[in-house]
Amino acid sequence: MPTDDAIAAIEMAIKLLEAQRAKLRELIALKLLTGEDVAFERAEVASLDVEINDLRDLLTQLRASRVVVSAPSPAEIQAASGLLDQIVGLAARDAATSAGLALLSAGLTTARDLRQKVVV
């Protein structure tokens, strides 16, 4: 059912963004301990807060309306779930490396792709 897939995609996108936000918060804490500037990371957290809230609003609308929608496939949602597991498992110190930043960037891109594939 497309609406159920859309809801699952939005839920996964929210989880991806929340995981990224959590890692950024860990990185902020680590940088504060070492006296580094965290302005960029704080701005990114604020941006993620907005995106998460927007997705939660959309999720509420989808659940309330149960209109016909198109959505990502279950396989795409499952692939995003694997990425979520990698982000959650990423250590705060590793989040500051280029590989960690690439993983967080992939999570953000995947969350946005999932959102964009939900068409009401």
What would the pLDDT profile of 68-106 be if each residue is shown by its tens digit?
667 888 888 998 998 898 888 888 778 778 888 888 888
What would the pLDDT profile of 12-34 be if each residue is shown by its tens digit?
999 999 999 999 999 999 999 99
Quick check: 63 pLDDT over 90?
no
- The tokens for 50 are 């907005």
| Angle, alpha carbons 7-10-12 (nearest 5°) | 110
- The tokens for 7 are 């809801």
Provide the whole-model pTM: 0.70
- Across the range 47-54, mean pLDDT stands at 96
The answer to whether 30 and 65 have CB atoms below 8 angstroms apart is no
Q: What is the pLDDT of residue 64?
A: 83
- The tokens for 102 are 């690439």
Distance from C-alpha of 71 to C-alpha of 50, rounded to nearest angstrom: 22
Distance from C-alpha of 62 to C-alpha of 13, rounded to nearest angstrom: 14
Domain ranges in the chain are 2-63+73-116
The answer for 2, left when phi > 0, alpha when psi is -120 to 50, beta otherwise, is alpha
β-sheet bridge partners, residue 119 = 70
Residue for token pair 């960029």: 40
The answer to whether 6 and 59 have CB atoms below 8 angstroms apart is no
